[in-house]
Amino acid sequence: MGGFDGWDIYRDVRTFGDEYKYGKSTYDDNNTTNGGCFDPDAGNSDYYAYLAGIETFANAEAVDINVFATPGINFYDHSSLTEEAIDMVEEDRADSLYIISTPSWATTVDEIVDAIDTIGLDSNYSAVYWPWIQVRDNENSTQLYIPPTGEVLRNIALTDNVSYPWFAVAGYSRGIVNAIKAYKKLTLDERDDLYRMRINPIATFSDTGPIIWGNKTLQIRESALDRINVRRLLLRARKLIAAVAVRLLFEQNDEQVRAEFARLVNPILESIKKERGLYDFRLVVSNDPEDIDSNTLRGKIYIKPTRSLEYIDVEFIITPTGASFENI
């Protein structure tokens, strides 16, 4: 963590968990023994060190990212920090997806389902994956379990390189996990239980090993935005459109600038449609005198996002030997 973010590099005791937040029972601003916790403005607990680190990403104009993660923070033991990160990504930036880690003690499906149900996270800018995965620690010649967060991020980068952000980061093409094994080999019923609770499973198949097998955000309400590929589609479209629209600021607010806005935006959406991100779209630019008087150009973009294929239903029908398939 260094020092700029409030971490005391001379402290040899960790203040693990959100209880080391100012005002909580475990926080003691008078405790200077064993490294203790000090004034919240100085931020010498882990909580404030992480919070300061999170806040450095709040300005989207200063830091360009499209995915965010907080190693060492899980949604249960650090629920306050997780909510701070969600707020930063969703409200301050509104251009990134937050991959949240799960607690190490959740080793069964029931435990992880109960944990996320207790916390009640609800955000289409965030996603969770489970179970943890086993990797090789070459430095110490051993094997250890870690959250799948890093592999999810790697597959997001892979997806952006080999296809587009609006393709699902999952499955055989863009979801293979580089790990020895998952902590638990999930059954079909267990994967379904996780998916109903908006937890993306790390499945295990005999031919591939661990593989990302889910595409859900943490949004509770069922809509197009409860899928990661649709959320990332909107994030990408917004960023591309913002990059061209900003060039029009401080130009004359007349018919010519509105036509120029449409000329810049339509090719972006047409390109996304061509690359299988949209079924269709429509751009409407307002001519409302109230908008013009308020020095505003107001546009609405209606889109039909392409959904990912998540279920295949095949029915086998036995026919008599003499039946002709041409008549079926």
Q: Please give the Cα distance from 285 to 31 (Å, whole number).
A: 60
* DSSP 3-state of 196: helix
- Whether 165 and 203 have beta carbons less than 8 Å apart is answered as no
Tell me what the mean pLDDT of segment 284-306 comes to. 94
pLDDT number for residue 211: 98
For the segment 162-187, the average pLDDT, to the nearest whole number, is: 97
What pLDDT is stored for residue 183 in this prediction? 97
Q: What is the pLDDT of residue 28?
A: 59
- Tens-place pLDDT, residues 220-231: 999 999 999 999
Residue 250, token pair as written in the block: 């401080």
User: What dihedral do alpha carbons 201, 223, 219, 235 form, nearest 10°?
Assistant: 90
How large is the average pLDDT for residues 178-193? 97
pTM attached to this predicted model: 0.89
In the structure encoding, which two tokens stand for residue 306, read together?
Answer: 């392409």
pLDDT of residue 36: 47
Q: Tokens in use for 117? A: 């149900």
Predicted confidence (pLDDT) per residue in 20-72, tens digit = 676 676 665 555 444 445 444 444 577 877 888 899 999 999 999 999 999 88
What pLDDT is stored for residue 1 in this prediction? Answer: 38
